[in-house]
Chain A
Amino acid sequence: MANYSTNDFRSGLKVILDGEPCSILDNEFVKPGKGQAFNRVKLRNLNTGRVWERTFRSGETLEGADVIDLTMEYLYTDGEFWYFMEPDTFEQHRADEKAVADALNWLKEQERFEITLYNGAPLIVTPPNFVELEIVETDPGLKGDTAQGGSKPATLSTGAVVKVPLFINQGEVIRVDTRSGEYQNRVSKS
């Protein structure tokens, strides 16, 4: 991969820092009057999700990281790995538990996920912002209770448990915001 100087650091650029793939979030040029110039850089470690703020001497370089984001379709899991397919080439990739951790609650077959590949292997699986999933278990709905507040737990087909309004029934499909894990609306009745 190419090397990038602090002058090239832009938000979204992927680099290797301390052996870890990182995405640059912010790059601030800092110079104390007549003195030496620095770049104060915010990076997200793509392996751990941790945000780093590190200072470099201006002009210092970092190696670029072979990181690309692709949209893929979720196929299945064998319990150890989760399999995804590039829709155009039908090429399959397997992600380990760490890579799917943030998406585990929302993995629905044939749904499309954003897969971040690092050196060709899945590093992060990001779910779409909203998914539609069927409720497989919840207490019976209360008729006519559509206006009132109150909620109850519901188990979705993926195993995730979300809070839903009291009027929602087992077998119905709901829309969930994957970023907050919150119920959005009812999509259909069974």
Chain B
Amino acid sequence: MGWQPSAKLDTLRARAGLLGRIRNFFASREILEVETPLLCNAGVTDPALEPLTVERGSSIAESRFLQTSPEYAMKRLLASHGQPIFQLAKAFRDGEAGARHNPEFTILEWYRPGFDHHELMAEVAELVRYCIGGRELHTYSYRQLFRELLSVDPFTATVAELQALASSRIDTGTLTGDKDLWLDLLMSHVVEPQLATRDMCFVHDYPASQAALAQISEVDGVQVGHRFELYVDGLELANGYRELTDPAEQRLRFDRDNLQRRDRGLAQRPLDERLLAAMAHGLPQCSGVALGVDRLLMLASGHADIRDVLAFDWARA
């Protein structure tokens, strides 16, 4: 049985240095560092996220969820104090393991009251440059990117058109699904690999069906979610929103997630009533983003496999 670490000592030093730089960046902007519980009463409803659960213990009456991100707790802090905040924490996502995923990973999440998503994108770019050096920046809307790389309008194309396009590029076997499945497949298999040669790329304004927790509004005649993703050398690094603040709309989206979960044969998730109560009290207009710190370290230290930047990867934990 191998007891040795997965990462080399110089990579561990690079990790410590990176964490220090991140804290410097936020300290210089007077953004408050916070910590919130890892083990939570409510999990996420997102059908594409599975939390790990802790089933027993004398301190817990019901099973608790290890956080998939600190988003809900941080929004409760925002509703209470309205201050810009950041957090460096561990997050857990069941079933996500591979060269770019470890089920336990380090997440950097921050919130900016008063920022729209474009202002936050600019700050994300500054942080990334501060941590890994100068990079050329490109910004595309989701629509623009699909038009350029796939000659298709992701907002108006039909399911059949997207399925035909995906099947002409990828062996899709027996895959079936809704429009988002085909868009996700094209994004991950055809678009993302082509971003590898474009340095630092923001993709923003996703189809409303992929808005997650972002505000939705009409842009050029279509409903878009004000969500963005950052790719550096083709590696997906961060996901952010101009945050939804309306508690009624939030409850609708949670319910819709649970319906989708039911259709896919997944367990129903209890809603985070504390988050909904905080939003009813009033979440300030803000933008927030989550960034994968292990992946940032992969870029900073030139590693292509996440296992090489973790002291102990999932198999050795």
Query: A residues touching B (Cβ–Cβ < 8 Å)?
Result: 7, 17-18, 28-38, 40, 52-59
Top 4 A-B pairs ranked by shortest CB distance?
A29-B98, A35-B184, A32-B188, A32-B187
Q: How many residues of B contact A (CB 8 A)?
A: 30
A33 touches B173 (CB 8 A): no
Residues of A within 8 A of B100 (CB): 29
A36 touches B189 (CB 8 A): no
9 pairs, CB–CB < 8 Å, chain A vs chain B: A32-B188, A33-B236, A34-B48, A34-B239, A35-B180, A38-B189, A53-B171, A56-B173, A57-B177
Which of the residues B175, B184, B212 comes within 8 Å of A32, measured between beta carbons?
Answer: B184
A36 touches B48 (CB 8 A): yes
Q: What's the minimum C-beta distance from A144 to chain B, rounded to whole angstroms? A: 55
Is B99 interfacial (CB-CB < 8 Å)?
Answer: yes
Cα-based distance from A24 to B101 in the complex (angstroms): 20
Q: What's the minimum C-beta distance from B306 to chain A, rounded to whole angstroms? A: 11
Across the interface, name the chain B residue whose C-beta is closest to A53. Answer: B171
Is B96 interfacial (CB-CB < 8 Å)?
Answer: yes
Cα-based distance from A33 to B210 in the complex (angstroms): 10
The number of inter-chain residue pairs (CB within 8 angstroms) is 73
B189 touches A7 (CB 8 A): no
Is B137 interfacial (CB-CB < 8 Å)?
Answer: no
Residues of A within 8 A of B227 (CB): 34
A38 touches B99 (CB 8 A): no
Query: B residues touching A (Cβ–Cβ < 8 Å)?
Result: 46, 48, 95-101, 170-173, 175, 177, 180-181, 183-185, 187-189, 192, 210, 212, 227, 229, 236, 239
Residues of B within 8 A of A35 (CB): 48, 180, 183-184, 187-188, 210
B98 touches A28 (CB 8 A): yes
Across the interface, name the chain B residue whose C-beta is closest to A29. Answer: B98
Cα-based distance from A167 to B79 in the complex (angstroms): 89
Residues of A within 8 A of B48 (CB): 31, 34-37
Cα-based distance from A54 to B172 in the complex (angstroms): 6
B46 touches A58 (CB 8 A): no
Cα-based distance from A35 to B99 in the complex (angstroms): 18
Cα-based distance from A27 to B259 in the complex (angstroms): 30
B173 touches A36 (CB 8 A): no
Residues of B within 8 A of A37 (CB): 48, 95-96
B192 touches A55 (CB 8 A): no
Cα-based distance from A52 to B171 in the complex (angstroms): 8
Which of the residues B96, B172, B180 comes within 8 Å of A36, measured between beta carbons?
Answer: B180
Cα-based distance from A38 to B172 in the complex (angstroms): 11
Cα-based distance from A7 to B97 in the complex (angstroms): 8
Cα-based distance from A58 to B95 in the complex (angstroms): 9
A33 touches B229 (CB 8 A): yes
Residues of B within 8 A of A38 (CB): 184-185, 188-189
Residues of B within 8 A of A54 (CB): 171-173
Cα-based distance from A91 to B99 in the complex (angstroms): 44
Cα-based distance from A35 to B49 in the complex (angstroms): 9
Residues of B within 8 A of A32 (CB): 184, 187-188, 192, 236
Cα-based distance from A29 to B185 in the complex (angstroms): 12
Known: A36-B48, A38-B185, A55-B189. A31 touches B96 (CB 8 A): yes
Q: What's the minimum C-beta distance from A183 to chain B, rounded to whole angstroms? A: 40
Residues of A within 8 A of B212 (CB): 34
Residues of B within 8 A of A7 (CB): 95, 97
Cα-based distance from A29 to B236 in the complex (angstroms): 13
Which of the residues A29, A33, A57 comes within 8 Å of B97, measured between beta carbons?
Answer: A29
Which of the residues A29, A36, A53 comes within 8 Å of B184, measured between beta carbons?
Answer: A36
Cα-based distance from A33 to B212 in the complex (angstroms): 11
Residues of A within 8 A of B187 (CB): 32, 35
Interface centre among B98, B100, B192 (most CB of A within 10 A): B98
Known: A30-B188, A37-B96. A55 touches B171 (CB 8 A): yes
Cα-based distance from A40 to B180 in the complex (angstroms): 18
Q: What's the minimum C-beta distance from A184 to chain B, rounded to whole angstroms? A: 37
Q: What's the minimum C-beta distance from A150 to chain B, rounded to whole angstroms? A: 46
Across the interface, name the chain A residue whose C-beta is closest to B166. Answer: A55
Across the interface, name the chain B residue whose C-beta is closest to A35. Answer: B184
Residues of B within 8 A of A29 (CB): 96-101
Cα-based distance from A32 to B97 in the complex (angstroms): 14
